[in-house]
Amino acid sequence: MKISIAGASGYTGVELLRGLLAYREIEIVQITSRQYAGHKLKEIFPHFSSSKFSQLIFEEELDLESADIYFLCLPHEPSVELVKKLVEKGKKVIDLSAAYRIKNPQAYTDYYGFEHTYTDLLQRAVYGLPELFRDRIKDADIIANPGCYPTATTLALYPAVKEGVVEKMTITVNALSGISGAGRGLKQPFHYPEAFGNAYAYKPVKHRHIPEMEDVLRAVSGKEYRIRFTPHIIPVSRGMVSTVVFKTPLKKEHLIELYRLEYRYEPFIRFSSQPPQIKNVIGSNFCDIYVDRDDRTGDAIVITAIDNLGKGASLQALQNFNLIAGLPEDKYLKDLSESIVFP
């Protein structure tokens, strides 16, 4: 199976390459990067020097014919156009941008600052969260790989929303993310002297992941939930914790039973008896979940931990790849401990 990766020099592209090292069924026919065009992978990322991908050469422009499946690790607007071109040629696309995640095109104008004109493709795209939509993912030609915050938050909410045990329509989410979530480009707040020893909230109103989360909850429940979302940056390279609070009539033991029943066959969901820590999920495709209830206030507290570049991006993209390629869903993704994590 022939694969191309557009934008392979960013964090998500490098993480894809790390995950693909174990695959024997694939051939990477092209990796692109305008910044590093003409350079070998091992020259830019020395930790690949002894790997089977070491001699891959970054190219500037993507060949739309040479691969069967394309991974797009690009900004949102370029992905909008590129997805259209690829599907018109009969290719399958796993898009790691937000370009096709939200069904309502107005959300792109309101939250992303551009007009999305391919409404037919928005409806055709399948949201790539396997725990919710694996049956649709298997036959999709456009997979909109979820964002990191929406992955952590939706997995924390899905069982309760699906079963209708969330009493109020507004749900409070506070999430912590490592700095790599901002991408590899230089930005002043993420320079070492500014980020080290620092932590802060950002975009406490109108964060662009809000319509994505609400869109998925609408799809699985038919209800108009509102997410009161506050993201925070913490001084670590990678990792994410999402704390979700909502009113529920269920007692703690029944709430835990509901979550365990819903996720009982999920290969990448792990339940924790204590609030989860990011160190236990770094470099993996796992989502660790803790479920509790505050009887004093009537609030459920569900806390998830993921690797924002793993389950929150590239390794989840490979989970989706396994589904559309007809491979076991967890193949090669359960143990990645021997490969070097970057960053």
What pLDDT is recorded for position 3? 98
- CB count, 10 Å around CB of 223? 12
What pLDDT is recorded for position 184? 83
For residue 338, is it within any domain? no
* Res 129 pLDDT > 80: yes
* Res 188 pLDDT > 90: no
Taking CA atoms, 202 is separated from 56, 191, 215, 247, in Å, by 38, 16, 22, 25
Rounded to the nearest integer, the mean pLDDT of the chain is 96
Q: How far apart are CA 283 and CA 338, in angstroms?
A: 10
Q: Which of 17, 31, 148, 341 does the annotation list as catalytic?
A: 148
For residue 341, is it within any domain? no
Same domain, 11 and 142: yes
Total domains, the chain: 2
Same domain, 239 and 269: yes
Domain that holds residue 207: 148-306
Strands annotated E in the chain: 2-6, 27-32, 58-59, 69-72, 92-95, 126-127, 142-144, 170-177, 200-201, 226-233, 240-247, 269-271, 287-294, 299-306
| H or E, element range at 44 | helix 41-44
Report the range of poorest mean pLDDT among 15-24, 63-72, 178-187, 276-285: 178-187
Same domain, 175 and 42: no
- Under 8 Å between Cβ of 126 and 221: no
Same domain, 9 and 77: yes
Of the two residues 133 and 181, the one the predictor is more confident about is 133
Q: What would the pLDDT profile of 207-262 be if each residue is shown by its tens digit?
A: 999 999 999 999 999 999 999 999 999 999 999 999 999 999 999 999 999 999 99
Same domain, 131 and 158: no
Same domain, 109 and 257: no
Is residue 126 classed exposed, middle or buried when 0-12, 13-18 and 19+ CB atoms within 10 A define those classes? buried
What pLDDT is recorded for position 167? 96
Q: What are phi and psi of 30, to 5 degrees?
A: -160, 140
116 falls in which pLDDT band (50, 70, 90)? Answer: very high
For residue 21, is it within any domain? yes
Same domain, 15 and 33: yes
What pLDDT is recorded for position 199? 95
For residue 180, is it within any domain? yes
Same domain, 156 and 125: no
What pLDDT is recorded for position 187? 81
For residue 332, is it within any domain? no
193 falls in which pLDDT band (50, 70, 90)? Answer: confident
Same domain, 39 and 54: yes
Report the CATH number that the domain containing residue 177 is assigned in CATH.
3.30.360.10
For residue 339, is it within any domain? no
Mean pLDDT of 40-66: 97
For residue 176, is it within any domain? yes
The structure tokens 């932590």 sit at 199
- CB count, 10 Å around CB of 234? 16
Same domain, 154 and 297: yes
Q: How far apart are CA 132 and CA 135, in angstroms?
A: 9
189 falls in which pLDDT band (50, 70, 90)? Answer: confident
Mean pLDDT of 52-78: 97
For residue 230, is it within any domain? yes
* Res 183 pLDDT > 90: no
Bridge partner residues of 147 (DSSP) = none
Question: Rounded to two decimals, what is the model's pTM?
Answer: 0.96
Determine whether 148 is an active site residue: yes
Report the range of poorest mean pLDDT among 30-34, 134-138, 190-194: 190-194
Amino acid letter at 72?
L
Report the CATH number that the domain containing residue 38 is assigned in CATH.
3.40.50.720
Same domain, 168 and 253: yes
Same domain, 156 and 248: yes
* Res 195 pLDDT > 90: no
Q: Reply yes or no: is the peptide bond before residue 343 cis, omega within 30 of 0.
A: yes
Mean pLDDT of 171-184: 93
